[in-house]
Amino acid sequence: MADSPLFQIDDLHVSTPPVETDTGSEPGIEILKGVSLTINPGEIHALMGPNGSGKSTLASALLGSPEYEVTSGRILFRGDDITDWDTDVRGKAGLFLAFQYPQEISGVSVLNFLRQALSARKGIEMSVLELRLSLMEWMEKLSMDTAFMERYVNEGFSGGEKKRNEILQMAVLEPEVAILDETDSGLDIDALKTVAEGVRAIKDERPQLGTLAITHYQRLLDHLKPDFVHVLIDGRIVASGGMELAARLESEGYDGFK
């Protein structure tokens, strides 16, 4: 569909899965209560909300996590309904999630992990030399020691190194939509600036990239400069606008939106 938005969340309702008990099945707890959001090519959207508002649930649901169940609504990517697609199919199609708590993968180097992921994404066997050169270029931009590409994924990495590694993956895998789930959590000011500058550098090279940055803090927004800001409270988007919304949050807190 040529005129379709790049990525669309349409009246999404998400719950925890039903629980089987001795007396039968109990329904899950509804967390997202009708979230709608549209991202066009090249747009950066920021989603802000207090703890427990449903931010990370949304990120997980968008990537097809089995921890949550979409009870109604749709997720659309380039006009295709991907609500029931498996996580790996979404990734190969061009969706990327930077996790709040990146997982360690023992025994798999950053280089080999990215070679396998990129080969699956592109549908061709990637050259180790070509990938190594690309990694070296991006590691320099992200202030990462190139020795990290030989280390096991996230094993022994500091919090800041894990987040840089996520952005490195985002750069190399060339997604069409990037979802950043609290990428700024646990980062000091310098690491936050490096990560945000990495996102902007990727955006400069791939201007059609659509981005959804989920965060608690305005400080990430100061670096990313999103086109749109949304406020999520109790599973619903209660306000949308520009950077003026982030400024209002800074002065009023979330109570002003309840």
CATH number at residue 252: 3.40.50.300
- Which residue did the predictor score with more confidence, 161 or 95? 95
Contact predicate 213/43, CB 8 Å? no
Q: Is residue 89 part of a domain?
A: yes
6 has pLDDT over 70: yes
Q: How many domains does one find in the chain?
A: 1
> What secondary structure does DSSP assign to 69-128, as a single string?
EEEEEEEEETTEE-TT--HHHHHHHTEEEE-SSPPPEEEEEHHHHHHHHHHHHHTSPPPH
Q: Is residue 33 part of a domain?
A: no
pLDDT band at 3 (very low <50, low <70, confident <90, very high): low
User: How would you class 129 by CB atoms within 10 Å of its CB: exposed for 0-12, middle for 13-18, buried for 19 or more?
Assistant: exposed
Residue 79: inside a domain, yes or no? Answer: no
Q: Distance between CA atoms of 121 and 177, rounded to whole angstroms?
A: 13
pLDDT average, residue stretch 185-195: 73
The answer to the question of residue 206 being in a domain is: yes
Q: What is the pLDDT, as a whole number, of residue 156? A: 63
Would you say residue 36 lies in a domain? no
Query: What is the model's pLDDT at position 58?
Result: 94
Q: In this structure, is residue 155 part of a structural domain?
A: yes
> Would you state the pLDDT for residue 1?
43
Q: What is the mean pLDDT of the chain?
A: 85
- At 159 the pLDDT is 67
**In the block, which residue shows the tokens 């190594």?**
132
Q: Quick one: pLDDT at residue 151?
A: 75
The DSSP 8-state label assigned to residue 242 in this structure reads: S
| 3-12, 57-66, 181-190, range with the lowest pLDDT | 181-190
CA angle 49, 54, 55 (to 5 degrees): 60
Q: Are 93 and 77 in contact (CB under 8 A)?
A: yes
- Structural domain that includes position 172: 41-66+85-230+238-257
| Domain assignment present for 49 | yes
Residues 219-256 have pLDDT tens digits of: 788 888 899 999 999 999 999 999 999 888 888 888 88
In a domain, 20, yes or no: no
pLDDT at 28 over 70: yes
| Confidence class for position 10, pLDDT limits 50, 70, 90 | very high
- Which pLDDT value is given to residue 252? 86
